Structure 1
Amino acid sequence: MLLLALICVLVVGQVIGRNLFNTGMPWADELSRFCGVAIVFLCVPLLALRDQHVAVDMVPMMLPEKQGRWISYFTELMVLAFACLMLWSLYAFLGRAWKFATPTLSIPNWVFYAPAIISFTLLAIVTISRLATPSSRRSPESPDRMLP
């Protein structure tokens, strides 16, 4: 919520500064962009933990429970592979670009990409915990509850 409030303050401040005081604030645009990206990335593991991501699960729900569990398990493995691939990609990218900074605020790249690194690390942890849980498949009768 703090990041969202900061985005609102920065955008309104930028508009007021430009229209009333005839002054530009390019740093505010860069900081609001950073906050927006951080919100998106940091919500990913939270939504995964709560099982609130948008899911197309019509086919797994129509399958018998055993096959549905296998598909859910396979899906979790793919999410874990994606999180690990993104972490490796960020590591490879920042290995070359860590010393550069953003143009206006001079935020180092490793700080600018920190929300993504934290997000994918937490997503991998959440996914591993979901894989360790006996059932992560939702019941069709009650979409917010997990099967026993």
Structure 2
Amino acid sequence: MMGILTIFAGFNSVVLRITRQLAWIALALMVVVILLQVVFRYVFNSALPWPDEAARFLMLWMTGLIAPSAYRWGGFVAIDMIPQMMPTRVAQILMLVLTLAATAVLCVAISFGWNHTFGFGGNFDSSSLRIPLDWVGGESIKVKLRYMYGAFFLGLVMLLVINIELILRQIILFFDPDAELPDDGSADFLAETGQIEAAGGAARID
């Protein structure tokens, strides 16, 4: 089981490192789009038709790309008072049951995400987002809503993969509390963001 966990952990670390970078880009673009709309609306008194929907589009993708990393590191809002009051073994069983329940919820949510992205609703066009091809002599193409719903679907799939990793970690720790588990990538993230500095193999908190 440790070998399977190592594979999942390594795969998730690589994928989430990429999705975090894409999430920062989506956030930066969202800020630019919003500021552009503010300038045109209040400086030039001529609001653009597309920035509001473009900002929502980027916000959805930012959320879908960053949520798996937050889930992996326990960054979601949680009520952990009850597990902390329980004996260690009982708390571990409770957390495993809750994680298994989350797996069922995610599987149902993924089916909804698939239907929204590739089903009937995804065929509709965005009300304002277009790919401008006029400058090359072509005709502008409206963006399909499936490219917006895709953030929901992809985010849920990644959450499910992370959930499997968390289940494996909990099972291993239940039977071997002293087991050395694979790195979850949190130290790399803190080093990237300057919150810790790795020196001589040790992490130092700034």
Tell me if 1:117 matches 2:117: no
CA distance in 1, matches of 2:105, 2:49: 34
SS state at 1:113 partner: helix
CA distance in 1, matches of 2:62, 2:101: 23
Residue 101 of structure 1 is matched in structure 2 by 125
Instruction: Select 2:63's aligned residue among 40, 44, 55.
Output: 40
Any stretches of 5+ residues in structure 2 without a counterpart? 1-23, 130-141, 175-206
8 A contact 1:87–1:117 mirrored in 2? yes
- Return the TM-score normalized by structure 2: 0.62
Tell me if 1:29 matches 2:52: yes
- Return the TM-score normalized by structure 1: 0.84
8 A contact 2:125–2:145 mirrored in 1? yes
Instruction: Select 2:115's aligned residue among 86, 92, 102.
Output: 92
Q: How many residue pairs end up in the alignment?
A: 136
Residue 127 of structure 1 is matched in structure 2 by 163
CA distance in 2, matches of 1:32, 1:3: 9
Instruction: Select 1:81's aligned residue among 98, 104, 126.
Output: 104
Residue 19 of structure 1 is matched in structure 2 by 42
Residue 8 of structure 1 is matched in structure 2 by 31
Instruction: Select 1:51's aligned residue among 47, 51, 74.
Output: 74
Name the aligned partner's letter for residue 17 of structure 1: F
Question: Alpha carbon RMSD of aligned pairs, Å?
Answer: 1.6
Select the structure that is richer in strand: 2
- Shift in Å, 1:92: 2.8
8 A contact 1:80–1:123 mirrored in 2? no
- Shift in Å, 1:121: 0.3
CA distance in 2, matches of 1:125, 1:57: 23
8 A contact 1:42–1:116 mirrored in 2? no
8 A contact 2:27–2:59 mirrored in 1? yes
SS state at 2:143 partner: coil
8 A contact 2:27–2:58 mirrored in 1? yes
* Identical residues among aligned pairs (%): 24
Residue 143 of structure 1 is matched in structure 2 by none
